[in-house]
Amino acid sequence: MSERRITASDEQLDGVIRRVLSVYRSWGRNTTVAQMRADWDALFGGQPLEAAVQAVTIGGLKAEWIAAAKANPQRVVLYFHGGGFQVGSVHSHRELMAGISEATGCRVLGLDYRLAPEHRHPAALDDACAAYDWLIAQGTQPVDIVFAGDSAGGSLVLAALIKLRDAGRALPTGAVLMSAWTDMTAAGESYVSRAESDPIHQRPMILAMARNALGADGDPRHPWVSPLFAELHGLPPLLIQVGDRETVLSDSVDFAAKAKAAGVDVHLEVWDRMIHVFQQFPDDLPEARDARRAIGAFVRSLFSTPSITRKS
């Protein structure tokens, strides 16, 4: 975003890219899924936290409460991590969740939903909706909940909202999406226009992850799989952040346009020069810190505005 006063240097940005590519390029045909998950956790996990962490179990799945100092115990961000539905965990995203807790003043609940290929669609979606049900059963009201997620987790946020809306359920008060994967057919124009500028994700890789997540019989155009193809009326306010050099840029831009046309309150932020889920690198990228502050401002604004119970 050009109006930002401080931006990452080329050296800072290239350093982040090298760290990510060092993991991707270490994987080959013989690399096991278990090794990929361990490598992903090692890349993003292990950072020092200024937040309290409490392990919980939701329907047999691991989850964690992350609470920064002075977080309001009544307000909850339910977080779904990215990783192409195959890698990622609450461990890999713990620092990001802690940053979101600090920025929003909310507790964050992160879920280790089931992953492919052991558990293909709709396992992750079922787990996401079950976590929402668990929160409500604990006494948290929908108006005190915001969904958030990155990449595949952003897709999961939207799919859960659409499924809950279709069931006539009360929806959370809003949602935050970072580099959301909204189209498993990878048909957006940015898969061509950003192919050279995106150092990490290319269309063949995206399609391979989609096949792995769905299985041979999965429909990549199903609205609970690719939210871009869903009817989008009745969704709560959305904040969508995406980097300008991402091949999945169209997933955010096209979804935002369609949601706005359906009457959804959408705030789209396209960040200059930024890569996939750049918000995970606050020590390296000033834009990551700014984006987290923008998430905090958005969520705080939702809770400062009187809400109504949303149904389809």
Catalytic residue ranges: 151, 246, 276
Strands 145-150 and 106-111: unpaired
Round to whole Å and give the CA distance between 70 and 47: 21
139: alpha, beta or left? (left if phi > 0; alpha if psi -120 to 50):
left
Q: Are 90 and 112 in contact (CB under 8 A)?
A: yes
Q: What is the spatial order of strands in the sheet that 238-243 belongs to?
A: 51-58, 61-68, 106-111, 72-80, 145-150, 174-178, 238-243, 266-271
Cα–Cα separations (whole angstroms), residue 243 to 180, 187, 220, 287 = 11, 18, 24, 10
For the chain, give percent helix, strand, coil, nearest 5: 40, 15, 45
- Cis previous bond, 223, omega within 30: no
Tokens at residue 82, please?
Answer: 């990215």
Q: Which helix (H) or strand (E) holds 175?
A: strand 174-178
Round to whole Å and give the CA distance between 298 and 306: 14
Which residue in the block uniquely carries the two structure tokens 């930002």?
4
**Phi and psi for 232 in degrees, rounded to 5?**
-110, 10
Q: Which of 277, 131, 159 minimizes the C-alpha distance to 222?
A: 159
Which residues are CB-contacts of 54 (< 8 A; sequence separation ≥ 6)? 64, 65, 67
Tokens at residue 57, please?
Answer: 């179990």
